[in-house]
Amino acid sequence: MSTEDQEAQEDELLALASIYSEDEYKRADAALGGEIHLCLELPSDFVISIKSNSATNSFVDNFENTVSFLPSIILNFELPPGYPSTSPPNFTLSCKWLSPAQLTLLCQRLDDLWEENKGCVVLFQWIQFLNEETLDYLNIKSPYEIKMSSNGVQCWMQSHEKTPDDGVLLDTRAIQDEQSVSALVKYVLDFNEAQQKKAFDRKLFLCNICFIEKLGSDCTHFKACEHVYCNTCLKEYFEVQIKDGQVHALNCPEPECTSVATPAQVKDLVGEQLFSRYDRLLLQSSLDSMADVVYCPRPSCQTPVMQEPDKTMGICSVCQYAFCVFCRMAFHGLSPCKVTAGKLVELIEEYLTASEERKREMIQRYGQIEKAIEQMKNREWLEENSKPCPSCNSPIEKIDGCNKMTCTTCKQYFCWICLKILCQENPYKHFETPLACLKR
């Protein structure tokens, strides 16, 4: 190897290391060469579909998704002693989503670029072509369909795509990374998600809580609504909600936004201990919202119990306690549920505004509810239309006549105006006495 070739090779490899990250370029340890991973920039709303002509893959035959990134084209190269003065780099091209025929076309184009620039370093030109011109060169447009045969080898897909001339053999340097349809679908989606995360981490975002710009790596992204907040503010917001038991409030802080944080996002922000409380409260809340789940009424147990349809009895699987699923008391068979005075008031208020179906259900469950409503109405009428006897407290209604009243129960005389007990011998004296109810 001439000194000029050696210097050119070292300079080119150093330049690649300074331009590309470790994820994009890896230099070979034993030889002058390396591996370049080229992630193409796709147009917005690029749609990819993957289909198979095998009947066994019917589950994923209709896979279609919008992606921002497709798996990398991988350029493996080794620099021979005569490069760049006389010999081109030795290389292979591999990819999971391009067919061998498409990769053959790209190999031919790299050969052409070497011929056009023989005697000069060419790796950067190759990389630039693969990065910027692959889609146009192969006439790949959205929607893009990858069709695979039953053995996992990709076939030609669309009539508008550029193909090798008839009779041209596939290039041995074009390596098709064979995948099953399901494996390729998973790899495409995982790669797209990972690249989107990398792109997000490198961008700056303004947090609408603290109004400070921070890198995406220090922020949390709500995918449903696209809102972004810094981790510091969101951590404090979630911690307050969890400590207060408001586990259903772990959503985007944007006013009126209903996007909900994923469990993974919550765990990353609040830590293992607080997340355990959140997870427990969330489960409890979910069980509470299920109409067919009740809890064992014993304070020391509280085990969730599945309620069987049309059954009024629940049996705890832990302590074997049999209880009424309505009133949570010991099971009482066909007898109506016993309720407290406070509960009865609530039931009456509900009954008065309930539908006919709900009223029938409540009567069946709480047999005394209609009687309680009648008694309540009686009490209300008496409060509005009568006064209590000051001697025995019996309700007395005044129909007509003077203000000297006689209780029908205890026969006591009293004043209707001030409810004072009157003298039995001369009850009218009260109405002749100054400062009393004189002449009233």
Indicate which CATH number applies to the domain containing 218.
3.30.40.10
Which candidate, 247, 249, 217, places its Cα nearest to that of 232? 217
Is pLDDT larger for residue 415 or for residue 308?
415
Which residues fall within 8 angstroms of residue 47, CB to CB, at 6 or more apart?
A: 64, 65, 66, 67, 142, 143, 144
Query: Taking 80 as the threshold, does the pLDDT of residue 161 lie above it?
Result: no
376 and 397 together in one domain = no
Range(s) of the domain holding residue 96: 3-195
pLDDT band at 185 (very low <50, low <70, confident <90, very high): confident
**Residue 289 is encoded by which pair of tokens?**
């919202």
Spot the catalytic one: 120, 210, 402, 423: 402
pLDDT of residue 367: 56
**How high is the pLDDT of residue 154?**
54
Tell me: do 7 and 133 sit in the same domain: yes
What is the reported pTM?
0.56
- Known active-site residue 402: yes
More confident residue, 51 or 88: 88
**CA-CA-CA-CA torsion for 121, 124, 127, 131, nearest 10 degrees?**
-150
Given a contact cutoff of 8 angstroms between Cβ atoms, the answer to whether 160 and 181 are in contact is no
Name residue 46's beta-bridge partners: 67
pLDDT given at position 75? 94
Number of compact structural domains in the chain: 4
**Same domain? 109 vs 46:** yes
pLDDT class for 144, splitting at 50, 70, 90?
Answer: confident
Q: Per mean pLDDT, which range of 50-54, 154-158, 367-371 is the poorest?
A: 154-158
Q: Is the pLDDT of residue 59 over 50?
A: no
Say if residue 374 is in the same domain as residue 401: no
Please state whether beta strands 293-295 and 213-215 pair in parallel, antiparallel, or not at all (unpaired). unpaired
Burial class (CB in 10 A: 0-12, 13-18, 19+), 321: middle
Interval 129-139 mean pLDDT: 92
- Tell whether the model's pLDDT for residue 122 goes beyond 50: yes
| Chain length of the chain | 440
- Tell me: do 151 and 273 sit in the same domain: no
Place 60 in a pLDDT band, splitting at 50, 70 and 90.
very low
Strand segments, DSSP code E, in 68-136 are 73-78, 90-95
Mean pLDDT computed over 199-210 = 91
More confident residue, 323 or 158: 323
pLDDT at 306 over 90: no
Would the pLDDT of 369 be above 80?
A: no
Q: According to the model, what pLDDT value does residue 325 have?
A: 73
Residue 269 pLDDT: 87
Q: What is the mean pLDDT of residues 378-405?
A: 84
Instruction: Place 245 in a pLDDT band, splitting at 50, 70 and 90.
Output: confident
The per-residue pLDDT for 38 is 92
Domain at 190, CATH number:
3.10.110.10
Q: How confident is the model at residue 400 (pLDDT cuts 50, 70, 90)?
A: confident
Average pLDDT over residues 107-122: 92
Does a structural domain hold residue 320?
Answer: no
- CB atoms under 10 Å from CB of 237, counted, come to 18
**Residues 278 and 348 grouped into a single domain:** no
Residue 178 binned pLDDT confidence (cut-offs 50, 70, 90): low
Specify if 318 maps to a domain.
Answer: no
**Residues 109 and 123 reside in one and the same domain:** yes
Predicted confidence band at 43 (pLDDT cuts at 50, 70, 90)? confident
124 and 35 share one domain:
yes
Q: Determine if the peptide bond prior to 80 is cis (ω within 30°).
A: no
Predicted local distance difference test score (pLDDT) of residue 395: 86
Q: Bigger pLDDT: 371 or 117?
A: 117
What rounded mean pLDDT belongs to the chain? Answer: 81
Contact 393, 409 (CB under 8 A): no
48 pLDDT exceeds 90?
A: no
What was the pLDDT predicted at 76?
A: 93
Distance CA 295, CA 297 (A): 6
Of residues 404 and 294, the one with the higher pLDDT is 404
Is residue 16 domain-shared with residue 147, that is, in the same domain? yes
Q: Is residue 144 part of a domain?
A: yes
